[in-house]
Amino acid sequence: QVQLVESGGGLVQVGGSLRLACAASGRTSARYGMGWFRQPPGKEREFVAAISWSGANTISADSVKGRFIISRDNAKNTMYLQMNSLKPEDTAVYYCAASKLIISARAADHDYWGQGTQVTVSS
């Protein structure tokens, strides 16, 4: 069992930056791929970015490429999402998730989820 807790969300102006963190606890000795997903208001949850356990492989949604950077520090059991050049359409609840697969963009492949953190981008 893995517990995930997100932090770092908040209110930011268009063009600003935020860094989200996802702290893992519990069975962190296992090698999990991890990902970020988000759910905009009134919409379904969508994939943002994912990273393999080693950090060597990453994938991201086209909508965030060139703006968001996913990374992880396994020594700290923490994953990050650096979000730059934020847009109003980035407003959403952001969730981190852990998968037993090496890396995946599919929500269904992720077994553990955090409670989410709100990111609001104001224009």
| pLDDT tens per residue across span 9-53 | 999 999 999 999 999 998 876 789 999 999 999 999 999 999 999
122: number of Cβ within 10 Å: 11
SS3 call for 99: strand
Q: Is 41 within 8 Å of 91 (Cβ atoms)?
A: yes
77: left (phi over 0), alpha (psi -120 to 50) or beta: left
| pLDDT tens per residue across span 41-97 | 999 999 999 999 999 999 999 999 999 999 999 999 999 999 999 999 999 999 999
> What per-residue confidence (pLDDT) applies to 78?
96
Is the pLDDT at 109 greater than 80? The verdict is yes
Question: What is the per-residue DSSP string for 82-95?
Answer: EE-S--GGG-EEEE
- Residue 12: what residue type? V
Is the pLDDT at 1 greater than 90? The verdict is no
> What per-residue confidence (pLDDT) applies to 27?
80
CA atoms within 13 A on the CB side of 16: 15
